[in-house]
């Protein structure tokens, strides 16, 4: 069973930063590792479902020409909109994957800390939708907590196993620590364009 919207409502009723994204060194370091794992300097169109209060979104905005964020919770959407208010190429929508999957193609889809909140059927649909909307040169970045989460039937390892099985793309990055697993898959087997120069 997927986690209900009320779960997130209680979290955001209690705090504007329920997972301490803004204040914990663990979260800041994980965001920096996440961005460092992206093999391309810039992405044209990025989709980040489950954006919460927009801390990772703000960093993704610096690496994208167009950023679409989404969250199931209205307060989270408002917080992310405020966080990205000075970023004209970023948009934050209220919605729930896989039901409210956006139209069009993306060259980066970021699935960070979302998989275990969905049941197997919904997560498999997210994986299917990801493949259908991934551009020919597109990539998928996923990062998940590896320990059990109250109310969730699966941990991050099971989430990533389903991703690996369902995406069937080239895995370019795999970084595992005691607490989280970070992976990047791409349609393109080449890792990094060594001839590319910095902007």
pLDDT confidence tier of residue 14, bands split at 50, 70 and 90: confident
Give which of 107, 132, 123 is closest to 156, Cα–Cα.
123
Window from 20-24, 71-75, 122-126, 128-132 with minimum mean pLDDT = 20-24
Q: What is the pLDDT of residues 128-180, one digit of tens each?
A: 999 999 999 999 999 999 998 887 878 999 999 999 999 999 999 999 999 99
> What are the boundaries of each domain within the chain?
5-186
Does residue 87 register a pLDDT over 60? yes
Residue 132: closest CA among 99, 103, 159: 103
Q: Predicted confidence band at 1 (pLDDT cuts at 50, 70, 90)?
A: very low
At 147, phi and psi to the nearest 5? -90, 160
**Residue corresponding to tokens 């408002």:** 78
CA 157/CA 142 separation, integer angstroms: 11
Tokens of 140: 């998928």
- The confidence score (pLDDT) of residue 154 equals 86
Is 5-186 in CATH node 3.40.50.970?
A: no
Q: How far apart are the C-alpha atoms of 79 and 81, rounded to whole Å?
A: 5
The pTM is what? 0.91
pLDDT at 191: 65
pLDDT at 194: 61
- DSSP label of 168: -
Name the helix (H) or strand (E) containing 93.
strand 90-94
């Amino acid at each position: 069973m997927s986690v209900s919207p009320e779960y997130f409502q209680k979290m955001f009723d209690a705090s504007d930063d329920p997972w301490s994204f803004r204040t914990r060194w663990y979260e800041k370091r994980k965001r920096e590792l996440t961005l460092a794992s992206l093999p391309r300097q810039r992405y044209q169109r990025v989709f980040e479902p489950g954006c919460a209060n927009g801390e990772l979104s703000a960093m993704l905005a610096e690496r994208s020409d167009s950023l679409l964020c989404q969250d199931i919770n209205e307060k989270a959407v408002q917080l992310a909109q405020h966080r990205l208010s000075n970023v004209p190429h970023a948009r934050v929508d209220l919605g729930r994957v896989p039901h409210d999957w956006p139209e069009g193609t993306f060259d980066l889809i970021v699935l960070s800390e979302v998989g275990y909140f969905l049941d197997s059927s919904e997560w498999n649909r997210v994986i299917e939708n990801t493949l259908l909307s991934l551009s020919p040169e597109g990539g998928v970045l996923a990062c998940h907590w590896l320990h059990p989460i109250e109310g969730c039937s699966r941990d991050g390892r099971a989430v990533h196993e389903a991703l690996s099985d369902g995406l069937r793309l080239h895995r370019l990055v795999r970084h595992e620590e005691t607490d989280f697993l970070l992976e990047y898959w791409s349609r393109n087997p080449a890792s990094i364009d060594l001839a590319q120069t910095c902007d």
